Amino acid sequence: MTLRNHDVPGVNAGVANSATAIGTPALRVSEVRCSFGGNQAVRGVTFDVTTGSFVGLIGPNGAGKSTLIDCISGRNSAYQGQVFALGNEITRLPMYKVARAGIVRNFQVARPFKKLTVLSNLMYGPRGQVGERLERALIGGWRAQENELLERARASMDVFGLGPEENNYGSELSGGQERLVELCRAVMSQPRVLLLDEPFAGVSPVNRKRLADRLKALVTEDGMTILMVEHRLEWVERLCSRILVMAEGSVILDGTMQEVRSNARVIEAYLGPSPE
Amino acid sequence: MSGIEYYASTILIFTFINAIAALGFNLQIGYAGIVNLAILVLFAVGGYMTGIAGLQPPPNDGFTHYIGGFGWAFPWDLGFGVVCAGGVSVLLGFVALRRLRTDYLALSLVAILQGLQVVVVSDRLLFNGTTGLVNIPVPGIDQLTPDQFQWAFAAISLVALIATYLIIARVTSSPLGRAIKAVREDEEAAASLGRDPWMFKLVAFVIGGCAAGLAGGLTALYATGWSPAAWLTPESLLLLTAVIVGGRGRNIGAILGAFIVYGLVAQAANLIPPGDLTARLPEIQTILLGTLLLVFLWFRPEGVLPETKEKFPPRGRAPMTMGSNAGPLGGSAVSASTERQG
């Protein structure tokens, strides 16, 4: 069964939203700068991400990739510059407002809700649940939507073999399972743009392929936009049509994997300057 | 009614009332993770506001001063107390919950509790200072015999407890309850999925505050009075112990904890034979409660009835939607959903 984003009435609209103007980038980052003390982690980064594309963000450790993701997602609001999502400015908005604008992320260290079960974790994903409103919680009328979400959640778990873990707490999972639960939860929210920070870290080899296939399907079939930070270049090459390379807080290359492999600056960023 | 029966019925009434407060406190601390050490503020607001709503305007005797004095009958006076407790909860939510976390939140709430106690005691014009409110009208006190009044008030308290339980249980067993727990677990992760953590904490805080206000109002009605002595800080220890012992994050656990703490442990001190220790009963009671709390925190922190996992229909069973013939893949469930949403 393909992991699709069913258009659940009353929850989120389908990710291929016709209201998105043709040509409007899904994500626009403009001159974003971020410093920690005296260290400039992100230096004037500017790029657009086209709607329905899968973009990789790579670079050596300390390049500023995760910091950039934190800025875009609103986790870190102490930055300069501007960020736009689907044409709407989200600069320095708190994380929950950025998520409501359609940008959802995972975390570099997976963060499932530890004292909620796997199934409860996934059921929390979708926004706009009528049962989260106080009057509906008291009066009722949320069970039909809950049942639809339950189907989606279980289908999502089954893709990655998480079905047997359905009633286990988030604290009882392996590292790879935590990662998958967090990702499935994020996808359940039907974001327009998905920010992924090392999604393959800790995931078992068999699930890596499944995850790669699912992420690809989200882009090609559901029109989702993905910006993925990843160190495993084989997955970046396999999934991403475009790659941004960061080093020392700046984007040093924006191109294809072939261009990345042959670029001297990229090689120097990873391997250091050649001894002269 | 014999002395033992009167004593037992009084314990039962106070146990029911404190179970209501424990339910509210459990929603705040157990489900939402808010260590609200100012819960007594809300308890006191309920007591005071119920009192000034039920009392007639203060007499011009030069000694008695309080605001209000509306002369409302039961249950409107009690309802006023609950609404006011909810309002104060909203204010506290804006002041403390918005920006503060964990330790700082707990400390700020304690400071608010202490500050309000000082204000209420110092300003006689508000609630009659250290004397407090007396002769609060009680429903049925004139129409019923003392025995009948005892059992009638026990019934009122029990009904209020059941209603509070049903309301809080509806919340905690819904997606709203799941969202409140998610915010408790990880605010940042919850926010990353589009929820404002503060709003969900505020909902839990206010509902819990209303429950505390209800308990305070019932206490004021039963005691026919309310004074600052009724909301001393050690009272928070009783509530905290009840929730910890009974089981955090479990509504039945909060009720059980109230029965254990108020119905058994707090009364155990009264079993001490009259003698030299009689004057020390309040301290002995506090030692017993503190010991009980420590024992549970060390050996059974989850309480007698631990928090349970959220329950969902098992796989393969048709979804339980009213009026639909939905199969496992939910075709009709979509129609039912459309019908509900439309």
Q: Is the pLDDT of residue B173 over 70?
A: yes
Q: Taking CB atoms and an 8 Å limit, are B321 and A96 in contact across chains?
A: no
Chain B residues with CB under 8 Å of A75 CB are 188, 192
Q: Is the pLDDT of residue B320 over 60?
A: no
Q: What is the CA radius of gyration of chain A?
A: 19
Beta-bridge partner residues of A229: A57, A197
The C-alpha of B317 sits at a distance from chain A's nearest C-alpha, in angstroms, of 11
Q: Taking CB atoms and an 8 Å limit, are A137 and B175 in contact across chains?
A: yes
Q: How confident is the model at residue A276 (pLDDT cuts 50, 70, 90)?
A: low
Q: Is the pLDDT of residue B332 over 50?
A: no
CB burial of residue B59 (10 Å; 0-12, 13-18, 19+)? exposed
DSSP B35-48: --TTHHHHHHHHHH
The C-alpha of A179 sits at a distance from chain B's nearest C-alpha, in angstroms, of 13
pLDDT score at B281? 78
Of A119, A129, A138, the CB nearest to B167: A138
A172 inside 8 A of chain B by CB? no
How far is the C-alpha of B94 from the C-alpha of B84, rounded, in Å?
A: 15
A108 inside 8 A of chain B by CB? no
B247 inside 8 A of chain A by CB? no
Q: How confident is the model at residue A104 (pLDDT cuts 50, 70, 90)?
A: very high
Chain A residues with CB under 8 Å of B177 CB are 137
The C-alpha of B163 sits at a distance from chain A's nearest C-alpha, in angstroms, of 12
CA B82 distance to own-chain centroid: 11
pLDDT, tens digit, 9 for 90 and up, residues A123-155:
999 999 999 999 999 999 999 999 999 999 999
Q: Taking CB atoms and an 8 Å limit, are B194 and A96 in contact across chains?
A: yes
In three-state secondary structure terms, B204 is helix
Structure letter (DSSP) for residue B311: P
Give strand ranges (E) for chain B: 133-134, 225-226
A130 inside 8 A of chain B by CB? yes
Q: Taking CB atoms and an 8 Å limit, are A133 and B170 in contact across chains?
A: no
Judge whether A116 and B183 are in contact, CB under 8 Å.
no
C-alpha dihedral, B194 to B196 to B197 to B198, nearest 10°: 180
The C-alpha of B90 sits at a distance from chain A's nearest C-alpha, in angstroms, of 15
CB burial of residue A125 (10 Å; 0-12, 13-18, 19+)? buried
Q: Is the pLDDT of residue A22 over 80?
A: no
How far is the C-alpha of B183 from the C-alpha of B198, rounded, in Å?
A: 9
Chain A residues with CB under 8 Å of B340 CB are 141, 144-145
Judge whether A60 and A246 are in contact, CB under 8 Å.
no
pLDDT score at A128? 93
* Count of Cβ atoms closer than 10 Å to residue A216 Cβ: 14
Question: Which amino acid is it at B14?
Answer: F
Chain A residues with CB under 8 Å of B319 CB are 143-144, 147, 150-151
Q: What is the ipTM of this complex?
A: 0.90
CA B222 distance to own-chain centroid: 16
Q: Taking CB atoms and an 8 Å limit, are B176 and A133 in contact across chains?
A: yes
Q: What is the CA radius of gyration of chain B?
A: 22
Q: How confident is the model at residue B233 (pLDDT cuts 50, 70, 90)?
A: low
Beta-bridge partner residues of A247: A250
Chain B residues with CB under 8 Å of A141 CB are 340
The C-alpha of A257 sits at a distance from chain B's nearest C-alpha, in angstroms, of 30
A-contacting residues in B 158-177 (Cβ below 8 Å): 167, 170-171, 174-177
pLDDT score at A82? 97
Q: How confident is the model at residue A264 (pLDDT cuts 50, 70, 90)?
A: confident
> What is the chain A residue with the closest CA to B322?
A144
Name the token pair of A119. 């199934």
> What is the chain B residue with the closest CA to A8?
B334
Nearest to A92 by CA among A36, A19, A24, A29: A29
Q: How long is chain B?
A: 342
Q: Taking CB atoms and an 8 Å limit, are B195 and A127 in contact across chains?
A: yes
Judge whether A190 and A11 are in contact, CB under 8 Å.
yes
Q: Taking CB atoms and an 8 Å limit, are B175 and A94 in contact across chains?
A: no
Strands A225-229 and B133-134: unpaired
> What is the chain A residue with the closest CA to B202?
A134
Helix/strand/coil (H/E/C) assignment for every residue in A47-116: EEECCCCEEEEECCCCCCHHHHHHHHHCCCCCCEEEEEECCEECCCCCHHHHHHCCEEECCCCCCCCCCC
* Unique residue bearing structure tokens 């191109």: A255
How far is the C-alpha of B185 from the C-alpha of B24, rounded, in Å?
A: 19
Of A116, A119, A142, the CB nearest to B181: A116
Judge whether B8 and B198 are in contact, CB under 8 Å.
no
Chain B residues with CB under 8 Å of A182 CB are 189
pLDDT score at B158? 97
The C-alpha of A198 sits at a distance from chain B's nearest C-alpha, in angstroms, of 16
Q: How confident is the model at residue B232 (pLDDT cuts 50, 70, 90)?
A: low
B338 inside 8 A of chain A by CB? yes
> What is the chain A residue with the closest CA to B329?
A151
pLDDT score at B118? 84
Nearest to B335 by CA among B317, B320, B321: B321
Judge whether A232 and A257 are in contact, CB under 8 Å.
no
How far is the C-alpha of A133 from the C-alpha of B174, rounded, in Å?
A: 9
B330 inside 8 A of chain A by CB? yes
How far is the C-alpha of B335 from the C-alpha of B342, rounded, in Å?
A: 10
pLDDT, tens digit, 9 for 90 and up, residues B234-282:
678 889 999 999 999 999 999 999 999 988 877 776 776 777 667 777 7
pLDDT score at B99? 75
In three-state secondary structure terms, B213 is helix
How far is the C-alpha of A229 from the C-alpha of A237, rounded, in Å?
A: 12
Structure letter (DSSP) for residue A14: P
Chain A residues with CB under 8 Å of B196 CB are 94, 96
A-contacting residues in B 34-53 (Cβ below 8 Å): none
Chain A residues with CB under 8 Å of B337 CB are 8-10, 144-145, 148
Q: Is the pLDDT of residue A60 over 70?
A: yes
Of B176, B312, B320, the CB nearest to A137: B176
Q: Is the pLDDT of residue B333 over 50?
A: no
Q: What is the mean pLDDT of chain B?
A: 86
Most confident of B65-74, B243-252, B316-325: B243-252
* pLDDT cut 90: percent of chain B above it: 54
pLDDT score at B253? 97
How far is the C-alpha of A108 from the C-alpha of A196, rounded, in Å?
A: 8
pLDDT score at A11? 39
- Cβ within 8 Å of residue A175, ≥6 positions away: A110, A202
* Unique residue bearing structure tokens 């509902």: B207
Q: How confident is the model at residue B119 (pLDDT cuts 50, 70, 90)?
A: confident
pLDDT, tens digit, 9 for 90 and up, residues A212-246:
999 999 999 999 999 999 988 999 999 999 999 99
The secondary structure element, H or E, covering residue A251 is strand A250-255
Q: How confident is the model at residue B293 (pLDDT cuts 50, 70, 90)?
A: very high
The C-alpha of A12 sits at a distance from chain B's nearest C-alpha, in angstroms, of 11
The C-alpha of A30 sits at a distance from chain B's nearest C-alpha, in angstroms, of 22
Q: Which of A85-99, A119-133, A159-173, B133-147 has the lowest mean pLDDT?
A: B133-147
Q: Is the pLDDT of residue B152 over 80?
A: yes
Q: Which of A98-102, B208-212, B268-272, B310-314 has the lowest mean pLDDT?
A: B268-272
Question: Which amino acid is it at B330?
Answer: G
* Unique residue bearing structure tokens 């009974």: B246
As a whole number, mean pLDDT of residues A70-86 equals 96
Beta-bridge partner residues of A253: A245
In three-state secondary structure terms, A41 is strand
As a whole number, mean pLDDT of residues A248-271 equals 88
